[in-house]
Chain A
Amino acid sequence: MNLGSGVRLDAEAYFRTMRQLVRPSPFLSNMTDISYAERLLTGTGWASGLEMLLQRPRGRLFGFVSYTLGKTERTFPTINTQPDGQSAGYPPRFDRLHDWTLSVNYGLRRGWVLSGALTYATGQPVTVPTGRYALADVQHILGIGSFASVFETSGLNNSRLPPYHRLDAGIRKSGRLFQKAYYEMQLQVINAYARRNPWFTFYIVYLNGTLSAQEIPQIPIPMPNLTFTISM
């Protein structure tokens, strides 16, 4: 859809189902003596969403805004088992309800261009333990002490990391080199406002049965990046 002034809007809605999805069983730490039928789980899934792209590809001010509203779910036997014994669907790690990207470029004189890219996405699904229990009489059966905690979650991927957002800003210059080649030089700062986007959270179970969560951030500081490209 042309909106005038060189601006164009594209939109697409989708819905699809999936069968015969395969993933490794999450309940096996040791694959010795275990058949492939037990190692792999076969499941189903679905995905639906709306994708929009508003772009102005040419002009002194050019760029695009893209947005995806999406939802997807997976269901595998034995994963996310409910009290009735049935498996409930769960959002996989790449499920994002919102995914925004704003890319703006502004052309200056003599081949210089200012650029900025802002991204925002819903945090990725993670599993947060919601309860714990201990077993009293299984020392000589499983070698588990009565102190040991078993953790319970209200469901796989029952929570989300904080939203992901980041600004990359830069300036670039392009031109010809000795009339024989093209070059592009770019100075960019990735994560310009030092957002501590979490990469993942992992848990450590201590021998006394307590649990600690540690959040691992992606690059938590502005990261300069200088590139020089020559093409013939």
Chain B
Amino acid sequence: MTGSPSPKWLVILMVLVTVTGCDSGVNSRDETVYVVESVLIAGRPLLRLLLTRIGGIEEQYNGADLSEEGAQVTVRVVGPGLDEVIRYQDAGAGYYRPGNPNHRVLSLHRYELTVQPAGAHTSITAMTVVPDTFRHLIVDLGTVEHENGDPPLLHFTPSSYPEHDQNNYIVVTEALIPTPSALVPHARDLYEEYDTSLESLTYSSSPVFTEESCDVAANGTLTLRYWWSDINFYGINLIHINALDNNVLDFARSYGVQQQLGIGTLVPGEMHNIQSNIQGAHGLFGSIAQATAYVNVTSP
């Protein structure tokens, strides 16, 4: 570029820079952000639904203070030869109970949720297709000594899910005797040295896995080698294998990343919202099929 400068051009440029030059702060939200929680389990009655609001990050979290009452909640069940609408009743404290307690969640059926919060202009919608039921081939895994030899093997039939070649599972271990005296050594360290609560140790979970992580028999049944690290208490432990729909799958994966914050595929300090697949709200509306076995773990 050649020639003498135009002062007018420079002045315009400087004004432009000044006008556009304000660095921004945090983009906060003023409107109410709702949170929905309800998970359907194939073959079981519909569970209650919880409707709350997002709490402030600086405040002590208290779900009761954030509960949303007076909402209109319906679930529409759609499947072969079936189109039924189930209305939920306000049970107070943000909970809503299904008006039809006899309804059993139907596998491979579609459940469409609509929530109209009191005073809100738009409704909350979500949809889930329920995974097919499956079962443990051996429910009673017997008595095993903790960390003495191989962990028990889980034998189960596969679930199925529309449009998925592989099904997604998660194993949740639930201790039935979560007392301090029943803690296994690694859990005792967490409890005594890191102030981890008994409640948080009562349940432990695996990462999401598919059939590729299992041995597949000729008849299609699956075998998964369990792991000792999920056993936190001696005594009876329930081992739930949960087959996940897309919503629970996305929630579980993204929750795992959020709680690790910066590990995995994120750069340090990067944080993402949970993938909730709910329009107009956060939270979880999804479905699972669940098979439960139990094992008695003794001290070596």
Contact = CB atoms under 8 A, between A and B. Distances in A.
A219 interface: no
A122 B23 contact: yes
B197 A158 contact: no
B2 A147 contact: no
Given A27-B272, A163-B23, A141 B242 contact: yes
Interface in B244-269: 248, 250-269
A205 B259 contact: yes
Given A30-B207, A154-B29, A127 B212 contact: no
B207 A200 contact: no
Interface string A86-101: 0000000100011000
Nearest to A98: B21
B57 A132 contact: yes
A51 to B, nearest CB: 12
A134 B25 CA distance: 27
Contacts of B248: 141-142
A47 interface: no
Nearest to B194: A207
A78 B254 CA distance: 11
A27 B275 contact: yes
A130 B268 contact: no
A232 interface: no
Contact of A144 (B166, B255, B266): B255
Interface stretch (B70-78, B101-109, B280-288): B280-288
Interface in A174-203: 200-203
Contact of B265 (A29, A84, A136, A204): A29
B97 interface: no
A85 interface: yes
Given A2-B2, A10-B1, A140-B172, A30 B23 contact: no
Contacts of A79: 272
Interface stretch (B31-39, B79-87, B135-143): B31-39
Contact of B267 (A33, A93, A145): A93
Nearest to A29: B264
Nearest to B276: A81
Given A27-B254, A30-B207, A128 B23 contact: no
Nearest to A8: B1
B148 interface: no
B11 interface: no
B185 interface: no
A226 B27 CA distance: 44
A121 B242 CA distance: 49
A42 B48 CA distance: 38
A27 B253 contact: yes
Interface in B91-123: 122
A142 B202 contact: no
Contacts of A11: 1, 13
B177 interface: no
Interface in B171-227: 172-174, 194-197, 199-200, 202-205, 207-210, 212-213
Nearest to B210: A33
A50 B12 CA distance: 13
Interface in A126-181: 126-156, 158-160, 163
Contacts of A93: 267
A160 B263 contact: no
B235 to A, nearest CB: 17
B20 A202 contact: no
Interface of A: 1-3, 9-11, 24-30, 32-33, 50, 52, 67, 69, 78-79, 81, 83-85, 93, 97-98, 122-123, 126-156, 158-160, 163, 200-205, 207-209, 211, 216
22 contacts: A11-B1, A24-B265, A27-B253, A28-B265, A29-B256, A30-B208, A30-B253, A32-B213, A98-B21, A123-B23, A132-B61, A136-B50, A139-B172, A141-B248, A141-B288, A147-B197, A150-B255, A156-B273, A159-B27, A203-B261, A207-B195, A216-B268
